[in-house]
Amino acid sequence: MWRRELTISTTRKLLGVTIAAGVIVALAGCGAAPSSNPTSAGPTAVAGFKPCIVSDDGGWNDKSFNESALNGIKAAAKELGVKEIDVQSDSANDYAPNLENLVAQGCTFIISVGFKLSADTVKSALANPKIDYAIIDDSADGNNDGKPDAPNIKPLLFDTVQAAYLGGYAAAAWSHQEGADKVGTFGGLQIPPVTIFMDGFIDGVKKYNDDEKSSVATFGWDVDKQTGAFTGGFAANDTAKQTAQGILDQGVDVILPVGGPIYQSAAAAIKDSGKKTVMLGVDSDLAVADPSVADVTLVSIMKRIDNAVHDATLAAAKGDFDTTPYVGTLENGGVGLSSFHDFESKLPKGLTDKLDELKKQIISGDLKVTSPSSPK
């Protein structure tokens, strides 16, 4: 697995909300409109630097990975005193035209948000070797030779299984305390950036059962068979709600929806059930990103996409772009758990201490946590 990471600046000015985390401290960056001129104390960009970004079909307002990536590039652009360009994809048919659009606008650094943009990003990068590219959640290695298929693409990857393992452990502890002893998960598409969450979640539940001699059951995903419940997309629609309902019907009192906006469908199904079921957020701190679901969001499994995008943009701006893959881990703060927010005072006794202990064991290597979808 690649383990060379971008240096996360300890002096970075992060915009937005500072959230005290029970397990880790999560800083959520939210960029405002960039100033027209760089400040004397801020970083400077090479002449003509123009950062650009294209979304997956979940859209910029997904309260998840697209929005987090946009926040990251906006924050970097503000610091640099330049204006970013963003284009939204409403379907997979928009990927290639959107990339062509950014090239035509003179972009010098283009970020593609998501695994699904891989083929079109590689094609664009090969056709435009003087432009720097980065892609989130994909190695851009269709040839499986251990390096990106274009020499000007930087993968921004996340070993999310590590944080999801902690999330699964917390979910099992909560369900056992509440008496159901049943948790479940479902995803949008069966792709590695989705299933890596589900693998960690289920394995974390197993760890809780081993530690506490409990029998919390899991529904929606079989790690060994790599099969489970999926909606077929990331839209919050009737299909997503029905999929969530199918998991809730198993009697679970904790559910993990993995796939951007589909959390809205899970929240709607929970509300309709009239039960005290809770869910876990993914990518961003969902209770903060969407306060309307804070009362049913136990905790979020976070990928610091905003930080990775921010740092990659600053590096490219300074002329320090390189294609060494970045991999976010618990150790470098690229993944982790959010605060438990309103649930903090209601958690099982000793849970946060146990999660801290598990985190340390994963970082040290004493506890091996991995997934078939982990970055190689």
| pLDDT given at position 291 | 96
For every one of its 376 residues, what pLDDT tens digit does the chain have, with 9 covering 90 and above? 333 333 333 333 333 333 333 333 333 333 333 333 334 457 888 999 999 999 998 789 888 889 999 999 999 999 999 999 999 999 999 999 999 999 999 999 999 998 999 999 999 999 999 999 999 999 988 888 778 899 999 999 999 999 999 999 999 999 999 999 999 999 999 999 999 999 999 999 999 999 999 999 999 999 999 999 999 999 999 999 999 999 999 999 999 999 989 999 999 999 999 999 999 999 999 999 999 999 999 999 999 999 999 999 999 999 999 999 999 999 999 999 999 999 999 999 999 999 999 999 999 999 999 999 999 8
Model pLDDT, residue 216: 98
CB 333 within 8 A of CB 8: yes
Q: Which residues contact 189 (CB under 8 A, 6 or more apart)?
A: 116, 230, 231, 232, 233, 234, 259
Query: Residue 7 has what DSSP assignment?
Result: P
* Cα–Cα distance for residue pair 228/343, rounded to 1 Å: 29
Partnered with residue 237 across adjacent β-strands are: none
Domain 16-158+305-333 indexed as CATH 3.40.50.2300: yes
pLDDT at residue 141 in the model: 86
**8 A C-beta contact, residue 166 and residue 341:** no
pLDDT of res. 174: 98
59 close to 66: Cβ distance less than 8 angstroms? yes
CATH class of segment(s) 161-303+340-364: alpha beta
For residue 328, give Cα distances in angstroms to 136, 198, 336. 11, 17, 9
- Identify the pLDDT of residue 29: 34
All CATH 3.40.50.2300 domain ranges in the chain, comma separated: 16-158+305-333, 161-303+340-364
- Predicted pLDDT at 17: 34
pLDDT at 43: 83
What's the first-to-final CA gap in the chain, in angstroms? 4
- Please answer whether residues 267 and 287 qualify as being in contact, where contact means their C-beta atoms are separated by less than 8 angstroms: no
pLDDT at 41: 54
Alpha-carbon gap, residue 260 to 60, rounded angstroms: 10
For the chain, what is the largest distance between any 2 Cα atoms, rounded to a whole number of angstroms?
Answer: 61
CA dist., res. 87 & res. 135, Å (int): 15
Q: Using CA of residue 217, residue 222, residue 223, residue 229, what is the dihedral sign? A: negative
SS3 76: helix
3-class secondary structure, 300:
strand
Query: Cα–Cα distances in Å, from 12 out to 164, 295, 303?
Result: 26, 31, 18
Q: Are 140 and 324 in contact (CB under 8 A)?
A: no
